[in-house]
Amino acid sequence: MTDRDLLQAGFRYAFSLANRHHDAEDLVQEAWLRISALHGSVPNKSLLFTVIRNIFIDQYRRKNLVIIESLEGVAEPAQLDAGQEFNIDSKVLDKALNNLRPEEREAIFLNIIEGYTAKEIAKLTDKSRNTILSLLHRGKQKLVQQLGQESNDGQYLA
Amino acid sequence: MDKLDKSIKNYYLDRRLSADALDRMLDKGHQVAREKATEKVGIGKLFDFQKSKRFIASQWRTSAVAAVMLVVIVVAQSYYFQRGVSELVLAEIAMNHNKHLDVEFPYNNYEALRVAMNRLDFTLEPPVALLQNFILIGGRYCSIQGKLAAQLKVKNRNTDGISTLYVTALTDKLKKTVSKRVVYDNVTIELWQNQGHFYGLATDA
């Protein structure tokens, strides 16, 4: 993987956390510089993701923007119907993703884009595997709900 | 992979840094890495320099102390050695003088004495000043610090006092003697060196 590929991967991961282009760019840049200063180069994607994540958590802790939401307190969303037919417009998906919690987006990104298993994500994010499975399940259900809602409005029906 | 997953994947894969942003980050990364490396080298060099400075200072201190000690030892040894040699010579001369031994070769000129005392490995040639002030009575063999020497009996032209003059070739050991005039064991002794010869003039004090 070239440095450019690493940067792009890091940017996407940062985007999954921040969900804004500018913030994601800042995150990946800061992480890249920190690692470069420490190691002279960025050795692997895993380290880059970890540093991005740490910076994100630090920044959002400072800004009090991370909403600590207990999984126990969240109402169980409707069952995901994988076969449900609806068009997924990028803007609608963007809106739906923006309504997810950062950790839900992160789990979904790492699972779908990076192909990590729940166990690997758990290790990377220092969470239990069950928590990751819950984040994945609930995150996707929220997306389906929101996308379905938009579809039911008739605007995005196939 | 269901439609949702595909849509999410496409959504994220469409999120890309611009070429400019990529170049800027890569450049900054390289710059930071270089600065850090330079800083490390600088600190390393500074550390080495400080280390070497400390090492050199320590070496200098050690060398200086060693040199001072060496000089003190050499000077002290030299002083005591000189003093020791001189003391030994003075004692030897005083002892020989006090024996008042008769001359073996009763010649009143140095040419005859040189012929008679043919075992000497140096030329028996007294200093001019001595010739002017003392009259030769005769001579005999003796030794000073193990070196064959001539013990000459001479009379002071002014006082008629009898003195003994000790002459020998200047050895390394005798070179350490100090020219001086002292009274040793009731004998006034004058030591000096001249043209490869050692002289000792002893007179009753």
Q: Is residue B40 less than 8 Å (CB to CB) from chain A?
A: no
pTM: 0.50
Q: Is residue B119 less than 8 Å (CB to CB) from chain A?
A: no
Q: Which of B8, B25, B32 sits opposite A37 (nearest CB)?
A: B32
- The SS3 assignment for B161 reads coil
- The SS3 assignment for B194 reads strand
The nearest alpha carbon in chain A to B36 belongs to A37
A73 — pLDDT class (breaks 50, 70, 90) = very low
Q: Is residue B102 less than 8 Å (CB to CB) from chain A?
A: no
CATH class of B81-204: alpha beta
The pLDDT value given to residue A83: 47
Cβ of A108 and B8 within 8 Å?
yes
Question: Looking at the predicted structure, is the pLDDT value of residue A136 above 90?
Answer: yes
Q: Is residue B41 less than 8 Å (CB to CB) from chain A?
A: no
Looking at residue B105, the DSSP 8-state letter turns out to be: B
Task: Decide: residue B87, CB within 10 A, 0-12 exposed, 13-18 middle, 19+ buried.
Answer: middle
The C-alpha atoms of residue A27 and residue A59 are separated, in whole angstroms, by 9
Looking at residue A153, the DSSP 8-state letter turns out to be: T
The pLDDT value given to residue A151: 60
Domain ranges of chain A: 3-63, 90-152
Q: Is residue B14 less than 8 Å (CB to CB) from chain A?
A: yes
Question: Region A91-111: what's the mean pLDDT?
Answer: 91
Question: Region A129-152: what's the mean pLDDT?
Answer: 87
Nearest partner of A14 among A2, A24, A5, judged by Cα: A24
The pLDDT value given to residue A148: 79
Cβ of B37 and A40 within 8 Å?
yes
The per-residue pLDDT for range B54-70, each reduced to its tens digit, is 667 777 888 888 888 88
Residue spans of chain B under pLDDT 50: none
| B22 interaction partners in chain A (CB closer than 8 Å) | 4, 7-8
| A33 interaction partners in chain B (CB closer than 8 Å) | 25, 28-29, 32
Q: What is the mean pLDDT of chain A?
A: 81
Cβ of A29 and B7 within 8 Å?
no
Cβ of A7 and B17 within 8 Å?
yes
Q: Is residue B20 less than 8 Å (CB to CB) from chain A?
A: no
Q: Is residue A9 less than 8 Å (CB to CB) from chain B?
A: no
The per-residue pLDDT for range B26-57, each reduced to its tens digit, is 988 888 888 877 766 555 555 555 555 666 77
Top residue of B5, B10, B11, B22 to mutate, by most chain A CBs within 10 Å, is B11
A90-152 CATH, one of 3.30.300.30, 3.30.565.10, 3.30.1540.10, 1.10.10.10? 1.10.10.10
Please indicate whether residue B39 or residue A36 has the higher confidence score (pLDDT). A36
Q: Is residue A157 less than 8 Å (CB to CB) from chain B?
A: no
Q: Give A 108-127 residues with CB within 8 A of chain B.
A: 108-109, 112-113
The C-alpha atoms of residue B31 and residue B40 are separated, in whole angstroms, by 14
Cβ of A8 and B32 within 8 Å?
no
- The SS3 assignment for B131 reads helix
Give backbone dihedrals phi and psi of A119, rounded to 5 degrees, phi first.
Answer: -65, -45
The pLDDT value given to residue A85: 52
| B33 interaction partners in chain A (CB closer than 8 Å) | 36-37, 40-41
Structure tokens at A62: 């400072």
Place of tokens 């001539």: B150
Residues A144-157 as b or e (16 or more Cβ within 10 Å = b): bebbbebbeeeebe
Cβ of A144 and B22 within 8 Å?
no
Q: Which of A65-69, A76-80, A128-132, B63-67 has the highest mean pLDDT?
A: A128-132
Domain ranges of chain B: 3-71, 81-204
A68 — pLDDT class (breaks 50, 70, 90) = very low
Cβ of B15 and A108 within 8 Å?
no
Interface size, chain A vs chain B, as Cβ–Cβ contacts under 8 Å: 87
| B20 interaction partners in chain A (CB closer than 8 Å) | none
